[in-house]
A and B are shown apart, each in its own frame.
Chain A
Amino acid sequence: MLKARSRPATTRLRPRTVLLALLALLFTVVFAVVVGAGELGWQRVLAEIAAQVSGGVSPLSEREAAIVWQLRVPRVLLAGLVGAALAGAGAAFQGVFRNPLADPYLLGAAAGAGMAATVVMVFAPAVTGWLIGPLPLAAFAGALAGVGLSWAVGRSAGGSGTATLLLAGVAVTAFLTAIQTFVQQLNTDTIKQVYTWTMGGLNVSSWRDLLLALPYVVLAAVVLLASARLLDVLALGDAEAASLGVRPGRVRLLLLAAASLATAAAVAVSGLIGFVGIVVPHIVRLLAGSSYRVIVPLALIGGAVFLILADHVARTVLPGELPLGVVTAFAGAPFFAIVLRTSRGRLP
C-alpha cells in the first residue's frame, strides 16, 4: 500500500529551469548533428549549416550534404522525438499507476507491437511502395491493440484498481509474445530481422519516419502537459481525487490513451527501446521535484536529450551499429539500480 507522504513539493515549474533544459536540448541536437561519426569534420558541418541558414557557399560535396541533411539531421530529430515520447509516456504511466516503476511497455504495448511487426515480416515482407511501410503501421496498430486488450481484460476481470490492470498487462504480454514466437517458428528466415527490430534502432530513419511519428507524439504531449495537474491529483489517491471533483477512471483512460499513442508512434518508427520511460522521469524526479507539473514537461525534454545521446553512442562506438535498445539498457539498468539504492525511502 502506498502511503501519502507530506513533503514540500515544488508544483510550479520555474521558467529558468525550462530555459536551461531547452538549452541543453539545443546543445545536444547541434552536438549530435555536427560531431556525428566523425569523418565529415565538425567545422565543415558547421559551415554547411551556416551556409544553409545564411545562403553562403557550402564546403560539403553533394553526397556529404546528403549525409548531413537526409541521414543525420532526421535521425537526430527522430531520436529526440522518440525519447520525448517514451519518457513522457513513462511519466504518465507512473502517475496513472502511482508506481514509480511503471513503463510505457507495460500493458502489452511492446508485445503487441512486436507481435504485429513479426506477423508482417513473416507474411507480407515484400509489401513496398506504400505511402508508409507496413511495418510501422503494424507496430503502431499492434501497440494500441496490446494496450486495448490489457484494458479490456482488466475491466472484464472486474477490478477497478491499477493492480488488476497491471496483471492483465502481464497476461496479455505473455500471450502476445507467445504468438510472436509461434509465428517466428513458422518462418525461421525472418528471425534475424525480427531480432534486429526488437533491439530497437534508428539506423534506417528518414524525414518520412519523423513526419509519421510527429503528429501523434505532439498530440500526446499536449494532452499530457495539459493534464499534468490531474496526475498530481491522482497521486493523492482515488477518494481524494473524487472529492476534488476529478473522476479517476476517466482521467486514467484519457492519460493512458495519450501515453499509449505516444508509445505506439515511437515503437512504430524505432522498434523497441527500453528503459527510457523509467530512467528519465526518475532523474527528473530526483533533480527537480515530484510534482507531475514539473516532471511531465522536463521528462519530455530530458527524454529527447537522453535518447539523442544514446543514439550518438549507438552509431559511433563500434565500427558497425550498436542496437539502440542495448545502449539504453546498458546505460539505464545500472543507473536505475543506483537511483533505486540512493533514493530508497524518498520514492512516493
Chain B
Amino acid sequence: MLPSSRRLWALLPLLPLLLLFALAGCAEREEPASASAGGGNGFPVTLRPSGAPEVTLEAAPERIVSLSPSTTETLYAVGAGEQVVAADDQSTYPEQAPRTSLSGLNIDPEAIASHNPDLVIVESDLENKLSKALAKTGTKTLVLPAPATLRDAYTQFELVGKATGHAKEGAELARRTEAEISKLVADTPKTELSYYHELDPSFYSVTSATFIGGVYDLFGLRNIADQDDPNALGGYPQLSAEHILRADPDLIFLADTNCCGQSADTVAERPGWDTLTAVRQGRVVAVGDDIASRWGPRLVDFVRTVSSTVRDAGR
C-alpha cells in the first residue's frame, strides 16, 4: 500500500508537464481557426526588413517582447501596445511599457522565452542565434536593425504595423511622421550654420554620415565632426577639445544631459569654451539622450528641437 502511494507522489512533478501537453494540444486544434480569422487582417504576412532575414507570421502576434527601445515606442504608436508583454531594460518610453530586466545587448533566449512570446523584436541577432533558439519554442524573431536613413525609419514604422496587425496605423504613422518632418524642414529657413552634437563629455560625436547626422543635414547644417571624411571612425569619432574650439560651432546639441549631467552651464565652464560662439549666444541645446539616439515616432520631437534652434539662430 505504502510503496504504491509513494509512487503516486513521485508522479506529481509530471502533472504540469501533462497540463502543458494538453494546452499544446488545444493550441494545435485552434490553429486553423485563427489562421482563417487572421486572413482578414492581412495574415499570414511576410516581413522583409532591410538588412535582416525575412520572417513570415501566420497570425497576428498576441504576446510581443520588444528588445529595442525604438521599437517599443513604435509599437505603442501604431496601437500594438496591448500586445507587448515585455520590453527591455532600456525601453523607458512610453511610461506604460512593461519594462523588464531583459537586455537587448546581452540577449538571453531562456529569459525571453519565459515571457511566452509569439513574436520577439530585436535590433540585431548575430548569426541568427536568437531566432534559431526561439524557433524551437515556436516563437518568431523579427530583426529591425538601426536604420541608415529617415526613409528606412519610416519603412520600419510600416513594418511594425504589418507585423502586429496594425498595418493601416503603421502606414499612417510613417506618412504622418514624414509629413511633419518635411513641414518642419520646409518652414525652417536655410542657414549655413555649423553644429556639434555631443554624445558624452569626452567629446564623442556623430558625423553627417550617421542617422542622426542625416537629420541635421535636412537643415543644411555643417557638422564640425566631419573633418576630412564623415565616414571615418564609423561616423562616431572622439573629437579633441582643441578641434571643437578651433571649429567654433554656431550650435551645440547635447545628447548627454541625462547620462552625464551636462547642461549649457557645465559646457560654459569647460576650459576655453566661454569663447565659443554657441556658448556666447546661448545656443547650447539639450536634445534629450533618448530622443536623439532612437528612431521611433519621437523623431519628430528631435527634428522640432533642431528646427526651432535653427530658426532662433537665424533671427
User: Which residues of A does B touch, CB under 8 Å?
Assistant: 36-37, 39-40, 62-64, 66-67, 70-72, 74, 125-128, 185, 188-190, 192-193, 196, 201, 203-204, 206-207, 315, 318-321
Contacts and interface: CB of A to CB of B under 8 A. Distances in A.
A101 B266 CA distance: 42
A190 B271 contact: no
Given A128-B266, A189-B259, A319 B227 contact: yes
Interface residues of B, number: 35
Contact of B246 (A39, A315, A319): A39
Contact of A37 (B89, B105, B243, B260): B243
B146 interface: no
A51 B241 CA distance: 24
B103 interface: yes
A206 B256 CA distance: 20
B305 interface: no
Contacts of A39: 246
Interface stretch (B116-124, B130-138, B228-236, B295-303): B228-236
Contact of A71 (B237, B242, B261, B276): B242
A315 B266 CA distance: 24
25 contacts: A37-B243, A39-B246, A40-B246, A63-B248, A63-B275, A66-B245, A66-B274, A67-B272, A71-B272, A74-B271, A125-B259, A125-B260, A188-B89, A188-B90, A188-B103, A189-B259, A192-B204, A196-B238, A203-B241, A206-B270, A318-B233, A319-B228, A319-B233, A321-B239, A321-B240
Given A188-B103, A315-B240, A321-B240, A70 B261 contact: no
Given A71-B245, A125-B260, 9 more contacts: A62-B275, A63-B246, A67-B246, A71-B241, A71-B272, A125-B259, A192-B200, A193-B259, A320-B238
A126 B266 CA distance: 11
B292 to A, nearest CB: 14
Nearest to B236: A320
Nearest to A66: B272
A203 B202 contact: yes
Interface string B78-103: 00000000000110000000000001
Contacts of A64: 246
Given A36-B242, A204-B241, A188 B204 contact: no
B106 A188 contact: yes
Contacts of A71: 241-242, 245, 271-272
B201 interface: yes
Residue from A62, A71, A189, A196 with most neighbouring chain B CB atoms (10 Å):
A71
B76 interface: no
Interface of B: 89-90, 103, 105-106, 200-204, 227-229, 232-233, 237-243, 245-246, 248, 259-261, 266, 270-272, 274-276
A206 B272 CA distance: 10
B261 A128 contact: yes
Given A192-B200, A319-B228, A320-B240, A66 B275 contact: yes
Contacts of B261: 125-128
Nearest to A207: B271
Contacts of A67: 242, 245-246, 272
Nearest to A129: B266
A133 to B, nearest CB: 10
B271 A66 contact: yes
Contacts of B271: 66, 70-71, 74, 206-207
A11 B241 CA distance: 44
Contacts of B201: 204
Contacts of B237: 318-321
Given A63-B276, A67-B246, A320-B233, A203 B260 contact: no
Contacts of A320: 232-233, 237-240
A204 B276 contact: no
A203 B276 CA distance: 18
A185 B106 contact: yes
Contacts of B229: 319
Contacts of A192: 200, 204
Contacts of B106: 185, 188
A127 B243 CA distance: 27
B260 A126 contact: yes
Contacts of A204: 201-203, 241
B227 A70 contact: no
Nearest to A36: B242
A196 B276 contact: no
Nearest to B227: A319
A37 B228 CA distance: 14
A189 to B, nearest CB: 6
